[in-house]
């Protein structure tokens, strides 16, 4: 989200119209969302597989599953950033990340996470 804010600020100096700045925001948001997904591939693989595998060793179906998980999250965080600011986006990301980790641990342990 900080990268998004910086890039919009950087390129908005060249764009003077309000409509152009709105389009710029969403173009940069999509690019940053894709970077967000790619950055989260190794972390998701460590958490799910228990070992590190590089971004370049991801099977195509794993990439699409990770893309399906993180792309909507990145979009929701972007909407919260635009409406409520950086803290709103950080809270949404943290809550979703913690929920994902607890759900995944519960699935892997067969429902005995709190036993």
Q: Answer whether residue 52 shows pLDDT above 60.
A: no
Q: What is the pLDDT of residues 11-38, one digit of tens each?
A: 887 887 888 888 888 899 999 888 888 8
Q: Hey, where are the domains in the chain?
A: 2-108
**Given CA atoms 63, 102, 47, 111 in this order, what sign does their dihedral have?**
negative
Q: N- to C-terminal Cα distance for the chain?
A: 37
Q: Does the pLDDT at position 45 exceed 70?
A: no
C-alpha–C-alpha distance, residues 103 and 50, integer Å:
16
Taking residues 44-58, what's their average pLDDT? 60
Check residue 55 and report its DSSP letter. Answer: G
User: Cα(73)–Cα(91) distance, rounded to whole angstroms?
Assistant: 12
Position 92 confidence tier, pLDDT thresholds 50, 70, 90 = very high
């Amino acid at each position: 989200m900080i990268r998004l804010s910086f890039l919009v600020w950087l390129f908005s100096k060249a764009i003077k119209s309000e409509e152009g700045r709105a389009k710029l925001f969403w173009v940069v948001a999509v690019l940053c969302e894709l970077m967000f997904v790619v950055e989260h591939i190794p972390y998701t693989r460590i958490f799910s597989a228990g070992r590190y595998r590089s971004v370049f060793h991801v099977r195509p179906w794993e990439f699409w599953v990770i893309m399906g998980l993180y792309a909507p999250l990145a979009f929701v965080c972007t909407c919260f950033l635009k409406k409520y600011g950086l803290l709103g986006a950080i809270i949404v990301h943290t809550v979703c990340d913690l929920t994902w980790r607890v759900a995944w641990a519960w699935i892997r342990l067969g429902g005995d996470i709190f036993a």
